[in-house]
């Protein structure tokens, strides 16, 4: 095979696997010799707490990736070069040191990452090195799915219909790396160190292992295999937080330890065979593409409302607003389903999708707080934080986003609790102080008779807070707050 470059550098970022990796496949095909690098980017890491599950997940996944690269190459001394510093400097310096002619990477879509990649492209060009990037993290990106007028979609259902009409086996083909693995080279003698430990990059261990969150490609494969057996029931189980319904693959999609093409191909096949659960899950994967293209085509959403008129809403401010936000963050709102959900994210870095909608609606439409406060909190705490999906979800609950919940539709946290956690199993798991309440009272303890509270050892305002707002009053205030939008519609 005629190869374009003598030596290249594969830059892993959000694609921490060797199987079906589009950028790695492109690099192996193009280069006679290939080195691989991952950079612990201090421009990102310096903003994180010293104990961060995502960093621990990445570190563990890199150890597996390093082993997989060595096994794939069969060459002693092969594997992953890991750097710790500003990505711009580290990649360019390493590319020059290794005397490569090209660097390869998968597309990243977040504004900060795109700005970084533009800088890397320019810095490499100055020294005569090419940067080649390709799509790997989504099925369709940017402007690949457009309306009949040639504009990006802002409504999901027609986007989904076009997506389904457009996708072909070619879009979902596996990018084979093994046939070209002979290009993987031994690392230079001074670069054969193992993946640095958390301590070596200035981080501490978290409760990741005790939560039994599997890492690396093997962990992603294990979760997907487990979910495959439950996929057909997904439509029935996905809304109930006490039930093992979701795939739990979010963090693996975030860091590319699974292939989106493999997941979509499997879901499509099951849908064709008549599985409603698979069709519903496939729609969730298409939502993911949808939000990525929203961020790419309308980058303003990272700062403000997709619908600009919603930027005129006056959110609560001042000490009371700060106190309400603190209560929400700490799971002390007095609404058990909301508080249990916040306990879940604080303890595990995960929150069930139904609960993300409930707590988001509660923050915005019960507490009257700016959706961006919640967006930032989730960004800090979610293991699977992805800017596009997180922003899209928060704009959805605040009604400011594309295809969002109408502003006058306001989740009632009590009825949501009664409907989706009827027996209070989820609430009891995360709020053990309410465990002795009846299935009826556990959704709204303030409605219980004093004797029941006493017998359940619950003291409102003591070991469990009284509600910080009255939902009906808050709903009325929200409709007034959103009146500024109604005038523009």
pLDDT digits over 120-170, tens only?
999 999 999 999 999 999 999 999 999 999 999 999 999 999 999 999 999
Q: Is residue 162 part of a domain?
A: yes
pLDDT digits (tens, 9 = 90+) for 49-90: 999 999 999 999 999 999 999 999 999 999 999 999 999 999
pLDDT at 336: 98
Q: Is residue 206 part of a domain?
A: no
Residues 118 and 164 in one domain: no
Residues 368 and 467 in one domain: yes
Quote the CA–CA distance of 354 and 393 in Å, as a whole number: 11
Whether 353 sits among the annotated catalytic residues: the reply is yes
Whether 281 sits among the annotated catalytic residues: the reply is no
Q: Which of 275, 297, 319 is the last residue of a domain?
A: 297
Residues 291 and 380 in one domain: no
pLDDT at 485: 85
State how many domains the chain has: 3
pLDDT digits (tens, 9 = 90+) for 373-399: 999 999 999 999 999 999 999 999 999
Domain that holds residue 244: 138-173+216-297
Whether 239 sits among the annotated catalytic residues: the reply is no
Whether 287 sits among the annotated catalytic residues: the reply is yes
Question: Among the options 11, 281, 328, 371, which is catalytic?
Answer: 371
pLDDT at 8: 98
Question: Among the options 200, 284, 309, 316, which is catalytic?
Answer: 284
Q: Is residue 14 part of a domain?
A: yes
Residues 408 and 465 in one domain: yes
Which CATH number does the domain housing residue 24 bear?
Answer: 3.40.50.620
Question: Among the options 11, 287, 328, 373, which is catalytic?
Answer: 287
Residues 150 and 288 in one domain: yes
Question: Among the options 281, 328, 394, 396, which is catalytic?
Answer: 394
pLDDT, averaged per 10 consecutive residues of the chain (489 residues), comes to 93 98 98 98 96 98 98 95 97 98 96 96 98 98 97 96 98 97 96 97 97 98 98 97 97 98 98 97 98 95 94 96 98 98 98 97 97 98 97 95 82 97 98 98 98 97 97 94 78
Question: Among the options 162, 353, 412, 439, which is catalytic?
Answer: 353
Residues 276 and 345 in one domain: no
Residues 63 and 166 in one domain: no
For the entire predicted model, the pTM comes to: 0.96
Quote the CA–CA distance of 241 and 348 in Å, as a whole number: 14
Question: Among the options 239, 315, 418, 446, which is catalytic?
Answer: 315
């Amino acid at each position: 095979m005629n190869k374009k470059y003598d030596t290249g550098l594969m830059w892993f970022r959000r694609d921490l696997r060797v199987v079906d990796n589009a950028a790695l496949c492109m690099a192996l095909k193009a280069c006679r010799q290939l080195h691989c690098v991952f950079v612990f980017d201090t421009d990102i890491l310096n903003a994180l707490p010293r104990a961060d599950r995502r960093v621990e997940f990445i570190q563990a996944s890199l150890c597996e990736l390093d082993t997989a690269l060595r096994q794939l190459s069969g060459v002693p001394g092969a594997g992953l070069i890991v750097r710790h510093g500003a990505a711009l400097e580290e990649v360019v310096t390493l590319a020059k040191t290794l005397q490569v002619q090209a660097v390869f990477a998968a597309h990243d879509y977040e504004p900060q990452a795109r700005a970084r990649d533009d800088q890397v492209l320019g810095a490499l060009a100055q020294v005569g090195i090419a940067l080649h990037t390709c799509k790997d993290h989504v099925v369709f990106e940017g402007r690949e799915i457009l309306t009949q007028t040639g504009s990006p979609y802002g409504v999901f259902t027609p986007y989904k219909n076009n997506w389904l009409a457009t996708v072909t086996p070619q879009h979902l083909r596996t990018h084979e790396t093994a046939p070209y693995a002979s290009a993987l080279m031994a690392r230079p003698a001074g670069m054969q160190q193992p993946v640095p430990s958390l301590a070596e990059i200035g981080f501490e261990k978290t409760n990741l292992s005790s939560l039994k969150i599997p890492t690396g490609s093997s962990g992603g494969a294990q979760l997907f295999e487990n979910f495959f057996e439950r996929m057909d029931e997904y439509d029935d189980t996905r809304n109930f937080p006490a039930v093992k319904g979701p795939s739990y693959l979010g963090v693996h999609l975030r860091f590319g330890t699974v292939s989106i093409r493999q997941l979509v191909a499997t879901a499509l096949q099951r849908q064709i065979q008549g599985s409603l659960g698979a069709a519903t899950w496939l729609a969730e994967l298409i939502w993911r593409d949808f939000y990525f293209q929203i961020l790419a085509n309308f980058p303003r959403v990272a700062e403000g409302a997709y619908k600009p008129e919603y930027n005129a809403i006056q959110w609560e401010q001042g000490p009371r607003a700060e106190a309400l936000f603190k209560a929400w963050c700490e799971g002390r709102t007095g609404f058990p389903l909301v508080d249990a959900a916040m306990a879940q994210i604080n303890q595990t870095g995960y929150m069930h999708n139904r609960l993300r909608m409930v707590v988001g609606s509660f923050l915005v439409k019960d507490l009257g707080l700016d959706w961006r406060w919640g967006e930032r909190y989730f960004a800090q705490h979610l293991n699977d934080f992805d800017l596009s999906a997180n922003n899209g979800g928060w704009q959805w609950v605040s009604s400011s986003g594309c295809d969002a919940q109408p502003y006058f539709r306001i989740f009632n946290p009590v009825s949501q609790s009664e409907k989706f956690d009827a027996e209070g199993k989820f609430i009891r798991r995360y709020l053990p102080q309410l465990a002795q309440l009846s299935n009826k009272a556990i959704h709204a303890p303030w409605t219980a008779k004093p004797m029941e509270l006493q017998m359940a050892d619950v003291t409102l305002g003591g070991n469990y807070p009284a509600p910080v707002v009255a939902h009906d009053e808050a709903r009325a205030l929200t409709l007034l707050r959103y009146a500024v939008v109604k005038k523009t519609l």
